Amino acid sequence: MDRKVPQRGAPTRESWWSVHEQVPLAIVLALAWLGVVLWWVLHGGCSGRTIDFDRAPPLAAEFRVDLNAADWPEFAQLPGLGETLARRIVEYRAVHGPFRSVEDLRNVQGIGKKTLDRIATFLVINADSRPTSSGGGAQNGVEKRL
């Protein structure tokens, strides 16, 4: 009695790629892997050093307040001025008219030489600026200008 013994081994499957296609594919994958390794080595590899990014220098920002156009919240941002003193500046301007020079701020109660020296670099008087309306400045958070 002849009995067939089943052969052991992996079951046969058809491959998506033929043998003639597998060799070039293996070469392309090996070259891509080699490229990634080369890039990694050139950019630090296992050295543990950090990657140096280009950094832009910080931009200089200038904060300027126009004496004849600003409302009290803008003045309150100046160093050493609070809401009370900022409101006094706006009230003084509403009563006495526009400032002609930065030195005119000395006429506002509470602004002395030291305070003026501290804030003078932030102040400007634009030729085309006009005083805000005499209604006390902003109404409902919106500044009125003539």
pLDDT-above-70 percentage for the chain: 72
Read off the pLDDT of each residue in 99-128 and give the average, rounded to a whole number: 89
Q: Which residues pair with 132 in a beta bridge?
A: 145
Q: Which is more confident, 62 or 93? A: 93
Domain boundaries along the sequence of the chain: 65-124
The pLDDT tens digits of the residues spanning 27-63 come to 999 999 999 999 888 877 777 666 666 776 777 778 8
DSSP H/E element including 31: helix 19-42
The residues near 64 (Cβ < 8 Å, ≥ 6 apart) are 122, 123, 124
Give CA–CA dist 15/78, Å, rounded: 76
pLDDT at 3: 63
Q: How far is residue 87 from each of residues 1, 46, 60, 72, 93, measured CA to CA in Å?
A: 116, 62, 29, 5, 10
> What class does CATH assign to 65-124?
mainly alpha
